[in-house]
Chains A and B, each alone.
Chain A
Amino acid sequence: MNPTLTIAALTIQEAIRRRLLLAFISITVVIVGLSAWGFGRLSHTHSLTSGESNLAVPQALILFMFMFSFVLALSASAIASPSISSEIESGVLMTIVTRPIRRAEVLIGKWLGLAALLAAYAAGVCALEFAVVRWASGFLPPSPVLAGVCLFGEGVLLLTLSLFLSTRMPVIAAGVIAVAVFGAGWLAGVVGTLGATLNIAALRTIGQVGRLLLPTDGLWHAVIYYLQPPSLIAEHLTGGREGNAFYSQGAPSWPYLLWVACWFLIVLTAAVASFARREL
């Protein structure tokens, strides 16, 4: 096994022994269970027409997935922020980096291990939630796989940013900054939506710049798009839903996805370079 995979396997092994996965799975199962009850009630209530119900269920699913995207982002930050800095502070990394391996292999190995955990979590959450909603209401998002992939992508971007910060900053500083940047990115997206609705160019620009600087919100809107059924889009197009931050006008463009890939590579390269140059 090459050093990168060795470090990735170590990262996963440690996370499992920390009962990190167990904690996430437990919380997720509870939330999904509650959502099953909620979606069942929503789709079988007599106070809504079937048309209203067909709109309410996807909208509620989007809200649930928003919560999971937030949990995923926080988790990405929480597991990546200490991965370099705390091991430097504790001395654990000293015997690793003095082995005949590149520091890039250590960092990418950690990234791989953490990304695999995020992927498992994102896949598990999406599969479970979509299955529960389907069972309770009969609704299945039009592109569940793409929605899951974009949700994972959102987590991976924040994971990479947190890992980069972790190469230079103490654990708490790296974690707080990553989460704050994530929150600011989301807020910029909301401001951009308001700008588009109210036709205020400056606000719209804030949204666009925010999605370029930290593409997590851009990917979140891609998640929304892939969860929206045609009925919800039609409802929006016929008016009455302006300024809805939980609505997405279209799939992400290829140039934007290309930018997301570039952003990811730039930050990962910066993390590798930063760790390689850091004196221990």
Chain B
Amino acid sequence: MSQTNWADSTALDRRGRSSPAAAVGLAQAANPLLADHADQRTASPAIHTVALSKRYGKTFAVNSLSMTVQRGEVFGFLGPNGAGKTTVVKLLLGLARPTGGEGLVLGAPLGDRETRRQIGYLPELFRFQPLLTAREVLRLHCRLLALPKAAWKQQERAALQTIGLLERGDDRVGTFSKGMQQRLGLGVALLGNPTLVVLDEPTSALDPVGRHDVREIIRGLRESGSTVFLNTHLLEEAAHVCDRVAVIDKGRAIAIGALDELLGHHSRVRLKVGALNENWCHGLGRFGRWHRENEWIVVEGIDRSRIADLVDELVALGGRVEAVIPEHQSLEARFLELLGER
């Protein structure tokens, strides 16, 4: 995509909101190398860890974490506060050294300097030089990324458009609200068309509009072929944008997989059964946890493949099954279930 076309496509709406097209454009501007992350998908995974561990004294912040994040996917890294999510991010970026195991990011050892050129990072603790303007902060990072000087202006403009701060570009960061600083952090992370974007709690300071915008930006990055590693404890955020997720607790990964897989196997089913004999219900426990809601029986945690067996059993017992409504478990329910299983 040419820069001109991209600039056209990134025009913000009148309220200064960002657009997913802008994120795609930012990812593709200035550097022809980018054009084709798709080609790189066949290369090494974006992230690959084997038994990665980090111990502080006797406490494991990360305990034998093995996971693979494929290129081009949006990978959600979920867990409660203190689960070790940010420590994992620090290990991946070389900000901390593992005490065990190993890992590769974009096919290179953790913390590899040249590989960092292809990584955009929004830290959980986002702070920028308060005496610089937003534009100067972006230019500083263009310099540190060694982007061609001719591309700086366009990169700055594209980033400001994407994050909806075009009109505040010449204001000092010290005058920004927390949410605006987080937006700026996102803009900084998107500079230079990163192959991998690591976002650590990217919406913690944002209002609902800002959260929506971030989701759009993440979708835009996926369209451009970038990999997004989204570290969050906001399950709704992950449910909206992630292709796959890992759930981490106490430094250990307790589930990794596609969202559908993670939720699909453990569904909930509502059944309306006529002529129900209360005694039959005692046998339902082997399908999942069940309870009554008026004339409905609700069985939770049931494997979807066993719903037909459940219906067969009820019919065999003489029940008249009037309605069967399979329901997906919410991510939150599944998350709590996973944590509860430990």
Closest CB of chain B to A244's CB: distance in Å?
A: 45
Q: Is B60 an interface residue (CB 8 A)?
A: no
Q: Is the CB of A262 closer than 8 A to any CB of chain B?
A: no
Of the candidates A1, A10, A97, the one whose C-beta lies within 8 Å of that of B129 is A10
- When C-beta atoms are compared, the residue in chain A nearest to B117 turns out to be A100
A105 to chain B, nearest CB (A): 9
Identify which of residues 136-163 in chain A touch chain B, using a CB-to-CB cut-off of 8 Å: none
Interface of chain A residues 63 through 116 with chain B (CB within 8 A)? 90-92, 94-102
The residue in chain A whose Cβ has the minimal distance to the Cβ of B146 is A100
- A and B contact pairs by CB, cutoff 8 A, 22 listed: A1-B143, A3-B144, A10-B129, A10-B140, A14-B129, A14-B131, A14-B132, A17-B131, A90-B125, A94-B123, A95-B185, A95-B189, A98-B116, A98-B121, A99-B145, A100-B113, A100-B116, A100-B146, A101-B113, A279-B95, A280-B95, A280-B96
CA distance A92 to B131 in the complex (A): 12
What is the size, in residues, of chain A's interface with B at 8 Å between Cβ atoms?
Answer: 22
Does A13 count as interface, using CB distance less than 8 angstroms? yes
Whether a CB of chain B sits under 8 angstroms from the CB of A18 is yes
CB within 8 Å of A: which of B118-132?
A: 119, 121, 123, 125-129, 131-132
List of 6 A-B pairs having minimum Cβ-Cβ separation, nearest first = A91-B125, A99-B144, A17-B131, A91-B127, A100-B117, A94-B123
A100–B97 CB distance below 8 A? no
Interfacial chain B residues near A92, Cβ < 8 Å: 127-129
Say yes or no: A280 contacts B90, CB within 8 Å. yes
Contact B93 A100 (CB under 8 A): no
| Contact call A18/B131, Cβ cutoff below 8 A | yes
B residues at A contact (CB < 8 Å): 90, 93-97, 113-117, 119, 121, 123, 125-129, 131-132, 140-141, 143-146, 185, 188-189
In whole angstroms, how far apart are the Cα atoms of A92 and B185 in the complex? 11
Contact B140 A6 (CB under 8 A): yes
Interface centre among A92, A95, A96, A101 (most CB of B within 10 A): A95
On chain B, the residues within 8 Å of A3 by CB distance are 143-144
- Whether A95 contacts B95 in the complex (CB less than 8 A), given A1-B143, A6-B144, comes out as no
Nearest-CB residue, chain A, relative to B124: A91
Give the CA-CA distance A3 to B113 in the complex, in Å: 13
CA distance A168 to B116 in the complex (A): 25
Contact in complex: B95, A97 (CB < 8 Å): yes
CB within 8 Å for A95 and B141 given contacts A14-B129, A280-B90: yes
Within 8 A of B (CB), among A157-214: none
In the bound complex, how far is the Cα of B112 from the Cα of A102, in angstroms? 10
Interface pair A94/B143, CB less than 8 Å apart = no
In the complex, what distance in Å separates the CA atom of A14 from the CA atom of B137?
Answer: 12
B96 partner, pick from A14, A100, A279, beta carbons under 8 A: A279
Q: A1-41: which have CB < 8 Å to B?
A: 1, 3, 6, 10, 13-14, 17-18
Q: A91–B140 contact, CB under 8 A?
A: no
A98 touches B119 (CB 8 A): yes
Inter-chain CA distance A95–B119, complex, in Å, is 11
Smallest beta-carbon distance A225→chain B, Å: 40
Which residues from A are CB-within-8-Å of B129?
10, 14, 92
New A-B pairs, 4, CB < 8 Å, besides A95-B123, A100-B144, A279-B90: A1-B143, A6-B143, A10-B140, A99-B145
Residues of A within 8 A of B119 (CB): 98
Least CB distance, A167 to chain B, in whole angstroms: 15
How many angstroms from the CA of A92 to the CA of B267 in the assembled complex?
44
Cα A3 to Cα B140 in complex, Å, equals 10
Please state if A101 and B144 are interface contacts (CB–CB under 8 Å). Answer: yes
